Amino acid sequence: MMNSSGCSKGVEKQKPYVAMLFVQLIYAGMALFSKVAMSKGMNPYVFVAYRQAIATIALAPFAFLLDRNKVALLSFVIVCKIFFISLFGITLSLNLYAYAMNYTTATFAAAATNTIPATTFVMAILLRMESVSIKRRHGMAKVLGSLIGLSGALVFAFVKGPHLNFMNWSKAHHQETSSSSIIKSTSQGEFVKGCLILLLSNITWSAWLIMLGPIVKEYPAKIRLTTLQCFFSCLQSSIFAIAMNRDVSSWRLGWDVNLFSVAYCGIIVTGITYWMQLWAVEKKGPVFTAMFTPLALIITAIVSALLWKEILHLGSVCGAILLVGGLYCVLWGKNKEARIERETEKDQKSESNNEEEIGHVVLVLVECNTHQ
């Protein structure tokens, strides 16, 4: 009985790790399948519109069943706020992401995701929503991590260097397979253009994360809030897609990889990862969840190299190392700062309790003296 209970506890402890590994596999798949859909000729704006429509349909039943008991008043002002954060956050970010996939690689798309924590931190400081103390180690770690992460993204985009022929591919073999590969040959200028657009997409996503905080306090029904954002983003993306592309044939979906990519991003990425990350945050905290982000980059790079013959360059590897290093510096600083805040709160509570106890003792002594 002891062994079985100990084994079950061990399995229970491993669940968050398995869940986050699965989440990063899903995110790696998002970059890969998005790249496949764009390479197969699917319009990026139509892709986002369909993705958000499927996400809305997938989340609506859960929003109705699980959030029906939550008291959250949906006033006209809150609806307008949700509409605008959906426009400037989700709609703009996803459309920039999909457009950038025409010019960059799935590996860089996964790598650029690691800049979001640092970008969010810098924007929060500029908006005075977060303070930083450079004199302390955790403050210095957050600042240095942000600078290192940004430097890594720039190195990844602008520095090539010699290619790493770890798969023993000859140049001739690469030229033979490149025509049939998913990876289209793009010029250096187009690749840099795609990288900059992708970084801009991450900046808008960071702005959405910052704007989302106050909205959640006003409208605490999180699943309903997510569903409403997906719905508004679907409407906005559809209007944008129609304005940018008048070709009706681009909206046709067959039983092919385009339909699978749209369904994958709409149902699995938006639905399953939301639940699994929420569960992991409740179990282990947000820092634990963010620590697994670089796994999506590693998985994407390996799959792209094996299946699509994507050649990694020395500059890309160095940039990826800087990205991951900067991410962990920011996360370490945030974790250290959170621990200090918790310890300070405990000390303040203990001091207030001691003052109450002292006051109670003094009151008892005074009462004793008056009775005497």
* Mean of the per-residue pLDDT values of the chain: 77
Tokens encoding 97: 């992401």
Cα within 13 Å of Cα(323), Cβ side:
29
pLDDT in tens, 34-52: 888 888 888 889 999 999 9
5 falls within a domain: no
4 falls within a domain: no
2 falls within a domain: no
CA distance 372 to 367: 9
Cα within 13 Å of Cα(108), Cβ side:
34
1 falls within a domain: no
CB 259 within 8 A of CB 253: yes
Weakest-pLDDT range from 99-103, 189-193, 254-258, 351-355? 351-355
pLDDT for residue 234: 93
pLDDT reading at 9 higher than 70: no
pLDDT reading at 119 higher than 60: yes
63 falls within a domain: yes
SS3 at position 313 = strand
- The domain containing residue 76 runs over which residues? 13-371
8 falls within a domain: no
One-letter-per-residue 3-state SS of 38-96: HHCCCCHHHHHHHHHHHHHHHHHHHHHHHCCCCCCCCCHHHHHHHHHHHHHHHHHHHHH
CA distance 203 to 192: 17
pLDDT in tens, 217-274: 888 888 888 889 889 999 999 999 998 888 888 888 888 888 899 999 888 887 778 7
CA angle at 67 for the pair 14 and 116, rounded to the nearest 5°: 55
CA distance 129 to 211: 11
pLDDT for residue 239: 93
186 falls within a domain: yes
Q: Per the structure, how many domains does the chain have?
A: 1
Query: Closest Cα partner for 210 from 129, 274, 329, 91?
Result: 129
pLDDT for residue 191: 79
141 falls within a domain: yes
Q: What is the DSSP letter of 312?
A: P
Tokens encoding 32: 């890969």
This prediction's pTM: 0.73
